[in-house]
Amino acid sequence: MTQELYAVTGATGAQGGAAARALLRADLPVRALTRDPNAPAAVELRALGAEVVRADFDDPATLRAELAGASGLFAMSTPFGTDCAVETRQGIALLDAAAAAGVGHVVLTSAANADRGTGIPHFESKWLIEQHLHTLGPSWTVLGPGVFLENCAGEWTLQSLRRGVFGYPLPVDHPLPVIAAADIGAVAALALARPERFAGRRIDLAGQWSTPARQAAAIGAAVGRPVAVEEVPISVVEGYSADLAAMFRHFREVGLQVDVEGLHREFPEVRWHTMERWAAERSWDL
Ligand SMILES: NC(=O)c1ccc[n+]([C@@H]2O[C@H](COP(=O)([O-])OP(=O)(O)OC[C@H]3O[C@@H](n4cnc5c(N)ncnc54)[C@H](OP(=O)(O)O)[C@@H]3O)[C@@H](O)[C@H]2O)c1
For residue range 97-155, list pLDDT tens digits in order: 999 999 999 999 999 999 999 999 999 999 999 999 999 999 999 999 999 999 999 99
* Ligand 1: nearest atom to the Cα of 82: 28
* Ligand 1: nearest atom to the Cα of 90: 31
Give the span between the Cα atoms of 106 and 122, in whole angstroms: 21
The predicted pLDDT at position 2 comes to: 56
Helix (H, G, I), strand (E, B) or coil at 148: strand
Choose one of 78, 118, 123 to mutate for the ligand 1 pocket test, by most ligand atoms within 8 angstroms of C-beta: 78
Residue 31's beta-bridge partner residues?
Answer: 7, 51
The domains located in the chain, with CATH, are 6-146+180-205+256-272 (3.40.50.720)
Question: What digits encode the pLDDT tens for the residues 185-207?
Answer: 999 999 999 999 999 999 999 99
pLDDT reading at 71 higher than 70 = yes
Say how many Å lie between the CA of residue 77 and the centre of ligand 1: 6
Question: What digits encode the pLDDT tens for the residues 234-251?
Answer: 999 999 999 999 999 999
Say how many Å lie between the CA of residue 13 and the centre of ligand 1: 6
> The whole model's pTM is what?
0.98
Question: Please, are residues 158 and 139 in contact by the beta-carbon 8 Å criterion?
Answer: no
How many Cα atoms are found within 13 Å in the side-chain-facing hemisphere of 71?
A: 14
* Ligand 1: nearest atom to the Cα of 150: 1
16-30: b or e for each residue (b if 16 or more CB lie within 10 Å)? bbbbbbbbbeeebeb
Residue 139's beta-bridge partner residues?
Answer: 105
* Ligand 1: nearest atom to the Cα of 147: 3
Say how many Å lie between the CA of residue 78 and the centre of ligand 1: 5
